Amino acid sequence: MRNVGRADPPGLWQAGDVTALMGIATRLKLARLIHIVADEGDAVGPVARASYAGGADAVMLDEGLAEVVFDDSAQAGLDAITEAARATQGLTAYFGRPVRAASLSPDLFLLADDEADPARTRRIVGEWTLIGRRCNEKEEIEAALAHADVDFLVVGPGLRLIRHTAELAPAHDPKSKPWFAVGGITIESLPAVIRGGAMRAAVGGAITRASNPEAAAMAMKDILREAWNADPRMEAVTASAFGPSPNLSFGKPVTPPPTDLRL
C-alpha cells in the first residue's frame, strides 16, 4: 500500500498542535460523509455551503465521463466548493477524468473511467491529490484495495458489495483503506448500510434534493458519527489518522569543557 501519509504537504500538521490545519490524508481517514453534487452552475456554491455546514467532510463535483475539453463551469464549480470548504476545513473532491483533475487540483479525485490506470493518473494529478476508485464489482474492489496508487474507494450500489468490502477491508481496521458506500443512500437506508459494515457514505440526492440540505447533511452525519462512536474499535482508526506519536531524540549529552584551563 502506498503511504498516504506523504500526501500531507509538509508543515500542515504537527502532532500536538491542535490549532494547525490537518493534512489531506488525515482528514480523509477521519471522513464519514461525502456529498456528491452535479455541475449545475450557480447552484453548486449554496448547496456546498449548506452541506459543509451540516457536517459533510467533502463535497465532490460530479462530471463523470464528460468530454475532456474544458469549459468554465467545472472550474467555477470547484472554485465554489473550495470557497465553501474554507469555513470548515472540508475536503474538495472531483469525479471525472485525470486531465480535468490535474487542472482543478482537488484534494480528492475519483476516477470515472474504469480503464484508467491509477499509477498513470498519479503522474498526471500530482502528489498531493488523493486518488479514489469507483467500484461496482467485487473484482474492482479487490483490485483497488491491492493497488498502491489507490488511496480510497467508493463502493456500490448494493449491500452485496458493501459486505464484500467490509470482509476484505474492515472499517475498524486502521490498516484498511478508507471506503465509502454509495448508491442511492437515503437517511432511511443508511442504518442498513452501516449494519452491512460501512462506516462512511457518499450520497447525492438525499442532500441535494432535500428541502433543507444543511439539515439533511447533519442528520446523515449524526447517524454515521453515532455508529462510529458506538464501536470502540473505531478509536484505533481515529488514532491512526494522526500517525505514531513522535519520538524525540536529543543525541548524546555534551560534556562541558573544564573551567580551569592551563595553557
Q: What is the pLDDT of residues 229-261, one digit of tens each?
A: 999 999 999 999 987 644 444 444 445 555 444
CATH architecture of 20-240: Alpha-Beta Barrel (3.20)
Report DSSP state, residue 55: T
pLDDT band at 64 (very low <50, low <70, confident <90, very high): confident
pLDDT at residue 72 in the model? 67
Q: What sign results for the dihedral spanned by CA atoms 15, 20, 26, 29?
A: positive
pLDDT of residue 66: 58
Scanning the chain, the segments in alpha helix (DSSP H) are 24-30, 44-54, 72-85, 98-104, 118-125, 138-146, 159-168, 190-195, 205-208, 213-230, 234-240
- pLDDT tens track for 154-190: 999 999 999 999 999 999 999 999 999 999 999 999 9
pLDDT of residue 159: 96
Bridge partners of residue 95, in order along the sequence: 62, 110
**pLDDT recorded at residue 41:** 74
- Tell me: pLDDT of 12 over 50: no
Give the CA distances from residue 72 to residues 48, 59, 83, 85, 190, in Å, rounded to whole numbers and listed in that order.
18, 19, 16, 20, 35
Average pLDDT rounded to a whole number, residues 131-140: 96
The pTM assigned to this predicted structure is 0.84
pLDDT for residue 218 = 98
60, amino acid identity: M
* pLDDT of amino acid 243: 75
- Region of poorest pLDDT, from 12-21, 117-126, 220-229, 245-254: 12-21
| Between 113 and 227, residue with greater pLDDT | 227
Look at the block and give the residue holding cell 494529478.
Answer: 125
Question: Domain map of the chain by residue range?
Answer: 20-240
pLDDT (mean) for 3-8? 46
